[in-house]
Structure 1
Amino acid sequence: MTDPNLPPAPLLSWAENTLGPLAAIRPLPPGAAPSTVWYLVRRSDSARFHLKTAPSPGDFTRETFAYRHAVPALGPGNAPRLLGTSARHLALILTALPGTPLPQVRLTEAAQKTVHWRAGTLVAELHQAGRPTTTARREASAFLSRLADGWTRHIGAAGDRVPAEDLKFVMELADHLRVLDRLPLGFIHGRGLESGLRWSGTSRLALQDFDRSRFAPAVVDFVHLAYGPWADRPRVRAAFFDGYGRSLDAEERRALRCLTGLHAVRSLAEGPVRADKAASGTARTVLDRLKSEVSS
């Protein structure tokens, strides 16, 4: 009988052929990504790794591309290193990063400013990594429109869980998003940045989870930050952009408001389904603030 905590035998055999005999193997709790991840410890030197399987060939290809062509720009120790891939298993072997996921760390505002300044420098390096092909540039330019279409379909399906006034507001935001043009492009992280950041104290910050990375408008990477830690901490936001090396231009600021509003209404729609009153309360606060800004 197979152990449900272990990778399938062929996958485990490939991992040991790549790394050598393993002393410990355990599954990691499911995260925001749909990937399956195991924590590995090598017997010979106690080095730590992650074995990650992608949910689809497209996800595997995208993440492999990110680790080979963009992530090295972050520098040694600032992101996992890719040690091996298997298209047959849709699997990647990565070095395991030290530290604690940033959302689990309690920091003073002064420490948050330090962390977000460092995060800004990392994200700037990622956004500037590589040059998109003509096809990638075309897809990146259409990304916000596709994002607006997907979110409005999702929110429209929420029915009476979202007030009609909010639905009307978010549809207007989506319409604005579709006509924004010439936004600066970059190789984005594509997932909530905070969840991908790991903090080891002092100035050591690293970034992981590149399964949604792609060329797209750079502003997409700032939505979860604007919705979360920046919402009532303008100095933390300013520290990030000091590290990032530039401020958002007028079109990017409009795009960020639209994207943040869409995210808020989506959270408002999903909150009752998940019985998550805190998420619904945060969404309501963010949405009311955005509506007030627009009306003024």
Structure 2
Amino acid sequence: MKNNFYQHLLILCSISFLAACSSSYPEKGSGGLAENDFSAGFSPVLPDEPLGPEHGLRFDWQINKLHLDMLVQEGAKWCFPAAVVQNQERQNRIARELEGNLLLDAANDLIIQRKSLNKLEQQLTYVTSQADCTPPNNQENQQQELTTINTLFTLLNVDNQFAHNSSEINPKYMGNLAQAANILDENNELTLSITGHADASGSVDYNEKLALDRANQVKRYLSIFGLNPKRINASSLGSSAPLFQGDTAAVQLTNRRVSVEILSKSNTSASTNPRGLL
């Protein structure tokens, strides 16, 4: 798959470059569902400007987008729909950061996105070596589930979750957890993977424990709000994977967080067929 990906990637890069240099665009309203995506109006090309760091970041953004598009074509949309939705949301966030000239934030998110796409590619390679990723029998139900996953991702991955040196949850985030628990109660096929993080102000061992306490605290409150704890996995990365780089108060506030991935059991099992079976 990897060789196939890079062959297609070279072709798509050339097509994208030629398309970006063209002055002909479809009229608004004729671009299909992609017009609802922030990145649909985001151009990786900056014409008539001196080359600078932003050009390189926008090129990396385009490479990641092509990588994600290729994985979708290979079947990731059907085998790992939740992962695809969350990678698309992160791709949109990077585009917003680049448009807002938040270059350091975009650079760090690009690293996270690249790792996430590589992980998705490895998972897809393993699955497609044994089965075919095919559309589910009821695509309308899957679309509803993906909308739910996107809502949960937005609720659970907001900024300003914890105070400094604390695992106590901020009241606003507490409200988000209550909403998420209610949604999850109506969607039994979804589970959560919660990873705790800390800013870089403490020692490695201390940050590891604090980050795990934060993940477990989120798990605890989701359980209090009615979610079965068996549907939640909690782990820690300490301060080893900051969302943003830097030591300002705002950056540290953002890095004191949990990152939550929503996993779907029903879609994965329903959309894979063993090789050789009709």
TM-score by shorter chain over 0.5: no
Considering fraction of residues, name the structure with more helix. 2
TM-score (norm 2): 0.28
Specify which structure has the bigger relative contact order, considering alpha-carbon pairs within 8 angstroms and separated by 6 or more residues.
2
